[in-house]
Structure 1
């Protein structure tokens, strides 16, 4: 097995373990210019990409056995994505929604959901919750909603403007509340200038908290994220569309209910919480996403406030998330799918068998 780091590594090949090398980015963003050469260099049986499919071209994708493990966050599948996937050897969707949209487009996908470490993301004791809040400088009696979402792209796929509009109204009714934003605050990644938006909405400073910007760039440890979920009364994630939505499952694994957009993969991942309807929005890629209802976000926050501390919701959240335990996903989904792929490769289907396997 070899790895292609198409983000964050350039100019060198790293040996990370015996028999495993990490190959660097080429000259173009996303690595589309070099992925086929890497595959040829290692004599790859298959190339599994965990990435948006649209960044590749049919011409490049047809040079190797391409197994795209991909998100689908639009309805229907955008034509641009369909055009590229026609060259795929075996697409794998990581949501049931994505699987359905790929089938509607005439493809024959397999399904393997994302998995999480449920021994890392797990419920805590009352003492652990208090400790988590102390580290975040949040009082025991404060109602906490958290957004764990990338502030990237315009319009905001994560619905920051809509979420903050609703928070303005909610906090006016409940001054004992705080919204924790685990994201980059500024517009540097073509996202929203969140401090400006918060100022324009006249949301009090004490009603908003941001994560540490330095740690947000280099990466927080998993235990920190667990503490965020333990400290939270609800995860707020009313996105316009999600390919999956790992924080939704992570939060619920910790016993934290969620507010999600009732669209794409989010609908199937809400085990305990509230689904927000939305208005269809035609995006530049030629398919629909969904702008969440402002009033529905506000109503969902009110419901979360009313039910905070619910052991029933916490239990339902944990039970639902356990289906996405990484070991369960490996045994139930990955092993059968990879065995099927191995059988096809061994049979020499589509391309002649070669010597080594590469997972990129």
Structure 2
């Protein structure tokens, strides 16, 4: 049995989805299932996992989507793969695949589904043989937007919480807070703060602290996300103390353990991994009563309406009540134990085996596969024509630029010729004037010459008379 996994997401971002796949690979290493896997490693961005076979490729080129389906199929054929799995919406041509759906955020919050990745997501959904969702809510959303999918094709397999997350000692908490210069007490925001269409909704926390002087004693510690505070949030800071940090997981464990609460105010999530991490560390959680969040938080979180600043203010006050806080911490620890990466990894590996067995006995979808291959091949041709058209367009641009340059040079030469002609005309006019002057001066010279001759004769006559006079 061979399973090809495209590790493309490790190239894209080091966020929750990357953490999910990195953890699954490690768990499969522990169980021995890793022996069946070939991981496509793009630009050496994938994590190193002992016993894992890698197929190295350059970084993904978004322009070559269709071409890459052909290349993925070539890789599957090379290893005689029984199954293909992508970490983020890539597809081969006909090898059966399982698609893991982490969320339906683009569809739910109304993003432009014509954009590259969302278009490829829809292609992947249409292509897949089976689906894994990370929550029941994501399952419901998948069926809502793709009603042609049979519920029996979908398996809901929850994410887990990493063993690294457990309560830190007071000395660890103090040392970590000092290391990051965190003002205490503090509340946590983990991950993106605004994201697409502001669905991460961190503005509600900033507004809540602005509305309550009592709460302005709290520092907001932002873990991960953008390295600088977004202008939209900076405008809401006022007297609020903000601390932006990029801790390791081990440091994050201590930061969770020392926090007043994790505030996770998303308006939509496919799962909500930080909720479990916080609970496992003994950190109370304030989150919203939407999407998958109540599935993850259970009865161990304080839930609010993500649009109601007043509810956020009350939740932040409530979580500081010692009795309520103690109850939330204890319930949170129990809730976190319900989610296991080992269980998730075992369920996914079993589903892989089941999908491969079903594929051997199930009639091939020749019509669909044929259409799919034709579609991807058409995309290849369309890309070639697009590139050719681009080259022709570029040549046309260069030709027009050359013509414009020649026309400019012609205009310059014409202007220079006109200037030279004007100069010649001026010189000719000046020459004519000089010729007139020359003729005039020549006449004067001739007259002077004649006068000179006359004076010379007169002088000779006068001199002769004078000489004769002296002799006599």
- State the TM-score, normalizing by the size of structure 2: 0.58
1:325 maps to 2:340: yes
Q: Which residue of 2 aligns with 1:189?
A: none
- How far off its partner does 1:152 sit? 6.0
- How far off its partner does 1:295 sit? 2.0
The 5-angstrom pairing of residues 193-232 of structure 1 reads 194=229, 196-204=231-239, 207-211=241-245, 216=246, 220-232=247-259
Partner of 1:251, secondary structure, is: helix
Partner of 2:8, secondary structure, is: coil
Q: Aligned partners of 2:130 and 2:335: how far apart in 1?
A: 28
Distance change (3 Å), C-alpha of 1:101 and 1:10 = closer
Q: Which residue of 1 aligns with 2:262?
A: 235
RMSD of aligned residue pairs (Cα, Å): 3.3
Q: Aligned partners of 2:297 and 2:322: how far apart in 1?
A: 16
Q: Aligned partners of 1:93 and 1:40: how far apart in 2?
A: 28
Distance change (3 Å), C-alpha of 1:343 and 1:185 = closer
Ranked by relative contact order (alpha carbons within 8 Å, sequence separation 6 or more), the top structure is: 1
Q: Which residue of 1 aligns with 2:75?
A: 41
Contact 2:187 2:261 (C-alpha < 8 Å) held by counterparts: yes
Q: Aligned partners of 1:319 and 1:200: how far apart in 2?
A: 39
Q: Aligned partners of 1:71 and 1:30: how far apart in 2?
A: 24
- How far off its partner does 1:62 sit? 5.8
Q: Which residue of 2 aligns with 1:267?
A: 294
2:358 to 340, 344, 349: 344
Between Structure 1 and Structure 2, the one with more helix by share is 2
1:26 maps to 2:60: yes
Give structure 1 stretches of 5+ with no counterpart: 187-192, 279-291, 353-360
- How far off its partner does 1:204 sit? 2.4
2:175 to 128, 131, 136: 131
1:5 maps to 2:19: no
Q: Which residue of 2 aligns with 1:289?
A: none
Q: Aligned partners of 1:178 and 1:130: how far apart in 2?
A: 15
Partner of 1:102, secondary structure, is: helix
2:202 to 160, 166, 172: 160
Q: Deviations over 1:211-245 (max 9, x none)?
A: 1xxxx4xxx43212212211212111110111111
Q: Deviations over 1:3-29 (max 9, x none)?
A: 433252756798955561144333217
Contact 2:222 2:244 (C-alpha < 8 Å) held by counterparts: yes
- How far off its partner does 1:161 sit? 2.1
Partner of 1:91, secondary structure, is: strand
Q: Aligned partners of 1:33 and 1:295: how far apart in 2?
A: 52
The 5-angstrom pairing of residues 52-67 of structure 1 reads 53=89, 63-67=94-98
Q: Aligned partners of 1:325 and 1:99: how far apart in 2?
A: 20
- How far off its partner does 1:195 sit? 5.2
* Range 67-76 or range 264-273, more displaced: 67-76
Q: Aligned partners of 1:38 and 1:241: how far apart in 2?
A: 32
Q: Which residue of 2 aligns with 1:357?
A: none
Contact 2:265 2:286 (C-alpha < 8 Å) held by counterparts: yes
Q: Aligned partners of 2:190 and 2:47: how far apart in 1?
A: 33
Distance change (3 Å), C-alpha of 1:166 and 1:15 = closer
Q: Which residue of 2 aligns with 1:182?
A: 223
Give structure 2 stretches of 5+ with no counterpart: 12-40, 114-118, 367-472
Distance change (3 Å), C-alpha of 1:32 and 1:277 = farther
Partner of 2:338, secondary structure, is: helix
Q: Aligned partners of 1:168 and 1:182: how far apart in 2?
A: 21
Between Structure 1 and Structure 2, the one with more strand by share is 1
Q: Deviations over 1:295-353 (max 9, x none)?
A: 2222221211224883322111011111112123334x32442332232134355379x
- State the TM-score, normalizing by the size of structure 1: 0.74
Contact 1:6 1:30 (C-alpha < 8 Å) held by counterparts: no
- Between Structure 1 and Structure 2, how many residues are aligned? 314
Contact 1:252 1:314 (C-alpha < 8 Å) held by counterparts: yes
Contact 1:67 1:90 (C-alpha < 8 Å) held by counterparts: yes
Q: Rg bigger for which structure? A: 2
